[in-house]
Amino acid sequence: MSVTRVEGEAAARERWGAMAQRVAGSYSVGDPLADEAVASMNGHLELAHRALSVALDGGTVDGPEPLRRFAHEARAPRAWQDDRRCERGAAVLRRWAPWVALVLRCEALPRAYASPIGNKPLALTRRLAQDTKQRLTYTARFVWSTQQTGAMGVDGAGTRACIRVRWTHAVVRDRLLRTGFDPAWGVPMPQPDLAATALLFGVVAIEGLRRLGAEIAEHDADAVAHLYRVVADRVGVSPELQTDTHADGCDRFALLTAMHGPPDADSRTLTDALMSTPVTAAKTGLERAAGHAARWAMRGVAGGLLGPLAPGLGLPRSRRRFAAAGRLLRLLPAPVPAQAQLIERLLR
């Protein structure tokens, strides 16, 4: 069956050639190794979870061959991985951590929600406007874990987090395919969406920081691109869709999102819930007043970062709020004093 989620393939092929055709075809491909491992457990996922915990601690996995193969491959060293570049990229992101968080919240996540089919796993699990704060916390914790010193070593916290995310994706993919995901959409969380998400956290974050006024050298941007190539690989993105430089990452992200189609009602619902978390999480009148102010500010910053995509997500194109955020970035020191301890405390 053809994948009906693909729009504008002809135009994409004019720009990117055969690569666009391969991307269009890969919407029917999830993560074959992880998907086979999940299927081999016949629903005994708690046993698999315990086995993976053993594997992450360097032990021997007791389970079906597909599960053992997945655990071995997931932890295996990558010969091409440059640890010095990873450390440099992580240091760049830690330096700008509060502003990275703003860009991820106001640009990266809304861009992820903008895909009218890519957002359907959240819609079908009825998590459009529910658990938004929890999802945001999980995402922030995952991203922060990949940006610490030594995070992407074989036994690093970032690598372990990536393997858990990869397994969770396969479990959710299996569940959705059995409970009503339209096969004309391809598969839930296909290869292009996985690759685009990794680029959101790296390449797109750097572009957002630069638009706000951060001065980031190209070699530092390339180091961030390499770091999130490692992340992409660890969460199951195929080598063909990985990129290793900032320029290539920008071009690849443009291709991966060129055939999505415009945002839909679910895109707007998710974006509004994301922007409204300071209000919905408030417990007092003073917190609600501050929450409304934060929502107003974030919507304006998001509109500035997202540009032409903003109206489709129900966001304003506010030059003043965006410019104010840029002025604030230039006024505040980077890194903010004690920001690491503050971020850790917030995540806990």
Instruction: Give the N- to C-terminal CA distance of the chain in Å, as an integer.
Output: 45
The pLDDT value recorded for residue 126 is 63
Statement: residue 27 has pLDDT above 70 = yes
Tokens (6 digits) for 71 = 């655990």
On whether the CB atoms of residues 277 and 133 are closer than 8 A, the answer is yes
pLDDT, position 318? 85
The rounded distance, in Å, linking the Cα atoms of 68 and 80 is 23
Tokens at residue 308, please? 């032409």
pLDDT at 1: 43
Phi and psi based region of residue 187 (left: phi greater than 0; alpha: psi -120 to 50; beta: remaining): beta
Check whether the bond before 335 is cis (ω within 30° of 0): yes
Question: Two tokens at 293?
Answer: 């102010």
> Region 103-116: what's the mean pLDDT?
95
Give mean pLDDT, residues 163-182. 91
Mean pLDDT throughout 207-227?
Answer: 97
Question: Can you tell me the mean pLDDT for 274-281?
Answer: 92
Question: 3-class SS at 141?
Answer: helix
Average pLDDT over residues 216-240: 98
pLDDT tier, 56 (very low <50, low <70, confident <90, very high otherwise): confident
Find out whether 36 and 70 touch, Cβ atoms under 8 Å.
yes
If DSSP codes are grouped into helix, strand and coil, which group holds residue 164? helix
Give this prediction's pTM.
0.93
For residue 68, give Cα distances in angstroms to 34, 38, 159.
10, 11, 17
Instruction: Of 243, 258, 140, 118, give the one whose Cα is nearest residue 188.
Output: 118
The mean per-residue pLDDT over the stretch 184-207 comes to: 96
